[in-house]
């Protein structure tokens, strides 16, 4: 979730907020993820969410609009 927020801030041009979020992450004792860990977590999470979505659609069909 941390990486998604930082990436969203960067894409929306909110560089100060992105840097602030990254700095808060790095200074936290319980978090403190490196940029590579954040990127890897983002990619793994994205794949997991996509797989859950695909599994749900296969089981229950497409959602009604």
pLDDT at 2 > cutoff 90 = no
Overall domain count for the chain = 1
Residue 18 lies in a domain: yes
SS3 assignment for the chain:
CHHHHHHHHHHCCCHHHHHHHHHHHHHCCCCCCCHHHHHHHHHHHHHHHHHHHHHHHHHHCCCCC
pLDDT digits (tens, 9 = 90+) for 8-24: 999 999 999 999 999 99
> Could you report the per-residue pLDDT of 39-62, keeping only the tens digit for each?
898 899 999 999 999 999 999 987
* Residue 65 covered by a domain: no
pTM for this predicted structure = 0.62
**Structure tokens, 10:** 């960067």
Q: Is the pLDDT of residue 38 over 90?
A: no
Position 64 scores a pLDDT of: 60
Say whether pLDDT at 1 is over 80: no
- Is 34 a domain residue? yes
Q: Which domain covers residue 53, as residue numbers? A: 2-60
- 27 vs 64, more confident: 27
């Amino acid at each position: 979730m941390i990486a998604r927020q930082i990436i969203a801030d960067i894409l929306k041009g909110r560089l100060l907020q992105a840097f602030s979020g990254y700095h808060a992450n790095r200074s936290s004792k319980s978090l403190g993820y490196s940029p590579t860990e954040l990127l890897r977590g983002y990619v793994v999470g994205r794949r997991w969410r996509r797989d859950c979505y695909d599994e749900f659609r296969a089981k229950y069909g497409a959602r009604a609009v």
